[in-house]
Amino acid sequence: MNWVVEAMVTGMTAFIATNVDDIVILTLFFARVGETLRRRHIVVGQYLGFLGLILASLPGFLGGMVLPKAWLGWLGLLPIAIGLHQLLHPEADEKSVQTVDLSQPRSGFASLFSPPTYQVAAVTIANGGDNIGIYVPLFANSSFAELMIILSVFLILIGVWCLLGYQLSQHPLLSHTLTRYSHRIVPFVLIALGIFIIIESGAYRIWMQ
Protein backbone atom coordinates (compact mmCIF):
# COMPACT_ATOMS: atom_id res chain seq x y z
CA MET A 1 0.00 0.00 0.00
CA ASN A 2 3.02 2.28 -0.24
CA TRP A 3 1.72 3.59 -3.57
CA VAL A 4 -1.44 4.83 -1.80
CA VAL A 5 0.57 6.87 0.68
CA GLU A 6 2.83 8.10 -2.11
CA ALA A 7 -0.18 9.22 -4.17
CA MET A 8 -1.67 11.01 -1.15
CA VAL A 9 1.59 12.82 -0.39
CA THR A 10 2.04 13.74 -4.05
CA GLY A 11 -1.52 15.10 -4.21
CA MET A 12 -1.03 17.14 -1.05
CA THR A 13 2.29 18.53 -2.27
CA ALA A 14 0.91 19.48 -5.68
CA PHE A 15 -2.19 21.11 -4.21
CA ILE A 16 -0.38 23.12 -1.56
CA ALA A 17 2.35 24.27 -3.94
CA THR A 18 -0.17 25.53 -6.52
CA ASN A 19 -2.76 27.04 -4.21
CA VAL A 20 -0.92 29.08 -1.58
CA ASP A 21 -2.02 32.27 -3.31
CA ASP A 22 -5.60 30.97 -3.31
CA ILE A 23 -5.62 31.14 0.49
CA VAL A 24 -4.92 34.87 0.26
CA ILE A 25 -7.67 35.34 -2.32
CA LEU A 26 -10.12 33.30 -0.24
CA THR A 27 -9.19 35.42 2.77
CA LEU A 28 -10.09 38.54 0.80
CA PHE A 29 -13.41 37.03 -0.22
CA PHE A 30 -14.31 35.97 3.32
CA ALA A 31 -13.35 39.42 4.60
CA ARG A 32 -16.08 40.87 2.35
CA VAL A 33 -18.90 38.51 3.35
CA GLY A 34 -22.15 40.48 3.62
CA GLU A 35 -25.62 40.65 2.17
CA THR A 36 -24.48 40.01 -1.40
CA LEU A 37 -21.56 37.67 -0.84
CA ARG A 38 -22.19 34.75 1.52
CA ARG A 39 -19.84 32.06 2.81
CA ARG A 40 -21.67 29.39 0.80
CA HIS A 41 -21.05 31.37 -2.39
CA ILE A 42 -17.32 31.31 -1.72
CA VAL A 43 -17.15 27.59 -0.90
CA VAL A 44 -19.29 26.46 -3.85
CA GLY A 45 -17.52 28.88 -6.20
CA GLN A 46 -14.12 27.59 -5.12
CA TYR A 47 -15.17 24.00 -5.82
CA LEU A 48 -16.65 24.91 -9.22
CA GLY A 49 -13.55 26.83 -10.26
CA PHE A 50 -11.19 24.10 -9.13
CA LEU A 51 -13.23 21.42 -10.91
CA GLY A 52 -12.79 23.50 -14.06
CA LEU A 53 -9.01 23.42 -13.56
CA ILE A 54 -9.10 19.65 -13.06
CA LEU A 55 -11.12 19.12 -16.24
CA ALA A 56 -8.65 21.28 -18.17
CA SER A 57 -5.80 19.10 -16.87
CA LEU A 58 -7.35 15.68 -17.58
CA PRO A 59 -5.99 15.49 -21.16
CA GLY A 60 -2.67 14.79 -19.48
CA PHE A 61 -4.09 11.59 -17.98
CA LEU A 62 -5.65 10.57 -21.31
CA GLY A 63 -2.29 11.06 -22.98
CA GLY A 64 -0.74 8.89 -20.31
CA MET A 65 -2.97 6.01 -21.42
CA VAL A 66 -1.46 6.11 -24.92
CA LEU A 67 2.12 7.32 -24.62
CA PRO A 68 4.96 5.57 -22.73
CA LYS A 69 5.26 6.71 -19.14
CA ALA A 70 9.00 7.26 -19.45
CA TRP A 71 8.48 9.86 -22.19
CA LEU A 72 5.63 11.53 -20.31
CA GLY A 73 7.93 11.84 -17.31
CA TRP A 74 9.74 14.68 -19.09
CA LEU A 75 6.58 16.75 -18.58
CA GLY A 76 8.05 17.14 -15.11
CA LEU A 77 10.13 19.89 -16.68
CA LEU A 78 6.97 22.04 -16.64
CA PRO A 79 6.75 22.42 -12.84
CA ILE A 80 10.52 22.88 -12.75
CA ALA A 81 10.25 25.70 -15.31
CA ILE A 82 7.35 27.29 -13.42
CA GLY A 83 9.27 27.05 -10.15
CA LEU A 84 12.36 28.63 -11.69
CA HIS A 85 10.27 31.42 -13.22
CA GLN A 86 8.65 32.18 -9.84
CA LEU A 87 12.06 32.07 -8.19
CA LEU A 88 13.60 34.51 -10.69
CA HIS A 89 10.50 36.72 -11.06
CA PRO A 90 8.67 36.70 -7.72
CA GLU A 91 6.91 39.99 -8.50
CA ALA A 92 5.01 38.35 -11.40
CA ASP A 93 3.60 35.67 -9.09
CA GLU A 94 2.51 38.18 -6.48
CA LYS A 95 0.71 40.28 -9.09
CA SER A 96 -2.10 37.73 -9.45
CA VAL A 97 -3.01 38.21 -5.79
CA GLN A 98 -2.55 41.94 -5.66
CA THR A 99 -4.75 42.61 -8.70
CA VAL A 100 -7.82 40.73 -7.45
CA ASP A 101 -10.49 43.40 -7.06
CA LEU A 102 -13.46 42.29 -5.00
CA SER A 103 -15.11 45.68 -4.65
CA GLN A 104 -15.97 46.14 -8.33
CA PRO A 105 -17.72 43.86 -10.85
CA ARG A 106 -15.17 41.82 -12.76
CA SER A 107 -14.89 41.98 -16.52
CA GLY A 108 -14.41 39.13 -18.95
CA PHE A 109 -15.48 35.64 -17.93
CA ALA A 110 -16.95 36.68 -14.57
CA SER A 111 -19.13 39.38 -16.15
CA LEU A 112 -21.18 36.67 -17.89
CA PHE A 113 -22.51 35.47 -14.55
CA SER A 114 -24.28 37.61 -11.98
CA PRO A 115 -24.39 35.25 -8.96
CA PRO A 116 -21.44 35.71 -6.58
CA THR A 117 -20.77 31.98 -6.77
CA TYR A 118 -19.68 32.25 -10.37
CA GLN A 119 -17.59 35.31 -9.60
CA VAL A 120 -15.56 33.27 -7.11
CA ALA A 121 -15.32 30.41 -9.62
CA ALA A 122 -14.10 32.80 -12.32
CA VAL A 123 -11.37 34.19 -10.05
CA THR A 124 -10.27 30.64 -9.17
CA ILE A 125 -10.00 29.68 -12.85
CA ALA A 126 -8.27 32.93 -13.83
CA ASN A 127 -5.71 32.40 -11.08
CA GLY A 128 -5.13 28.74 -12.00
CA GLY A 129 -2.83 28.91 -15.02
CA ASP A 130 0.09 27.46 -13.07
CA ASN A 131 -2.19 24.76 -11.64
CA ILE A 132 -2.84 23.33 -15.10
CA GLY A 133 0.88 23.39 -15.90
CA ILE A 134 1.54 21.26 -12.80
CA TYR A 135 -1.47 18.95 -12.96
CA VAL A 136 -1.05 17.89 -16.61
CA PRO A 137 2.30 16.11 -16.05
CA LEU A 138 1.13 14.85 -12.66
CA PHE A 139 -2.00 13.27 -14.13
CA ALA A 140 -0.10 11.96 -17.17
CA ASN A 141 2.23 9.99 -14.91
CA SER A 142 -0.53 8.55 -12.70
CA SER A 143 -2.49 5.34 -12.98
CA PHE A 144 -6.28 5.48 -12.72
CA ALA A 145 -6.18 4.42 -9.07
CA GLU A 146 -3.49 6.99 -8.25
CA LEU A 147 -5.47 9.68 -10.08
CA MET A 148 -8.59 8.91 -8.01
CA ILE A 149 -6.58 9.23 -4.79
CA ILE A 150 -4.97 12.49 -5.92
CA LEU A 151 -8.34 13.97 -6.92
CA SER A 152 -9.87 12.87 -3.60
CA VAL A 153 -7.04 14.63 -1.77
CA PHE A 154 -7.67 17.74 -3.89
CA LEU A 155 -11.39 17.79 -3.07
CA ILE A 156 -10.71 17.43 0.66
CA LEU A 157 -8.04 20.12 0.65
CA ILE A 158 -10.35 22.58 -1.14
CA GLY A 159 -12.58 22.42 1.94
CA VAL A 160 -9.55 22.81 4.21
CA TRP A 161 -8.43 25.83 2.14
CA CYS A 162 -11.84 27.46 2.52
CA LEU A 163 -11.68 26.92 6.28
CA LEU A 164 -8.18 28.38 6.44
CA GLY A 165 -9.25 31.34 4.33
CA TYR A 166 -12.12 32.04 6.70
CA GLN A 167 -9.91 31.75 9.77
CA LEU A 168 -7.28 34.02 8.24
CA SER A 169 -9.94 36.61 7.43
CA GLN A 170 -10.39 36.93 11.19
CA HIS A 171 -6.63 37.45 11.69
CA PRO A 172 -5.26 39.96 9.10
CA LEU A 173 -1.72 39.72 10.54
CA LEU A 174 -1.52 36.00 9.70
CA SER A 175 -2.76 36.69 6.19
CA HIS A 176 -0.09 39.37 5.71
CA THR A 177 2.65 36.99 6.91
CA LEU A 178 1.45 34.26 4.54
CA THR A 179 1.42 36.66 1.60
CA ARG A 180 4.91 37.94 2.39
CA TYR A 181 6.80 34.68 2.86
CA SER A 182 4.95 31.89 1.01
CA HIS A 183 6.24 32.90 -2.44
CA ARG A 184 9.80 32.27 -1.28
CA ILE A 185 9.07 28.61 -0.50
CA VAL A 186 6.66 27.55 -3.26
CA PRO A 187 9.19 27.68 -6.17
CA PHE A 188 11.43 25.14 -4.43
CA VAL A 189 8.44 22.85 -3.83
CA LEU A 190 7.50 23.02 -7.53
CA ILE A 191 11.06 22.24 -8.61
CA ALA A 192 11.20 19.27 -6.23
CA LEU A 193 7.85 18.03 -7.54
CA GLY A 194 9.10 18.19 -11.14
CA ILE A 195 12.25 16.26 -10.23
CA PHE A 196 10.10 13.66 -8.46
CA ILE A 197 7.94 13.17 -11.58
CA ILE A 198 11.01 12.69 -13.78
CA ILE A 199 12.64 10.21 -11.38
CA GLU A 200 9.45 8.30 -10.51
CA SER A 201 8.55 7.85 -14.19
CA GLY A 202 12.03 6.63 -15.07
CA ALA A 203 12.33 9.27 -17.79
CA TYR A 204 16.00 9.85 -17.04
CA ARG A 205 16.77 6.24 -18.02
CA ILE A 206 16.03 7.03 -21.69
CA TRP A 207 19.32 8.92 -21.94
CA MET A 208 21.22 6.14 -20.13
CA GLN A 209 20.32 3.43 -22.63
What pLDDT is stored for residue 72 in this prediction?
60
Tell me: pLDDT of 195 over 60. Answer: yes
Mean pLDDT for the chain overall: 75
Mean pLDDT of 101-107: 46
Q: Is the pTM of this model over 0.75?
A: no
What pLDDT is stored for residue 108 in this prediction?
44
Q: Which of 27-31, 71-75, 130-134, 151-155 has the lowest mean pLDDT?
A: 71-75
Tell me: pLDDT of 67 over 60. Answer: no
Identify which has the larger pLDDT, 5 or 124. 5
Identify which has the larger pLDDT, 206 or 128. 128
Parse the chain into domains and list their residue ranges.
Answer: 2-208
Neighbours of 138 (CB within 10 A): 29
Give the 3-state secondary structure of 116-184. Answer: HHHHHHHHHHHCCHHHHHHHHHHHHCCCHHHHHHHHHHHHHHHHHHHHHHHHHHCCHHHHHHHHHHHHH
What pLDDT is stored for residue 101 in this prediction?
47
Mean pLDDT of 179-194: 70
Tell me: pLDDT of 46 over 80. Answer: yes
What pLDDT is stored for residue 78 in this prediction?
74
First to last CA, the chain: 31
Identify which has the larger pLDDT, 140 or 115. 140
Mean pLDDT of 119-140: 81
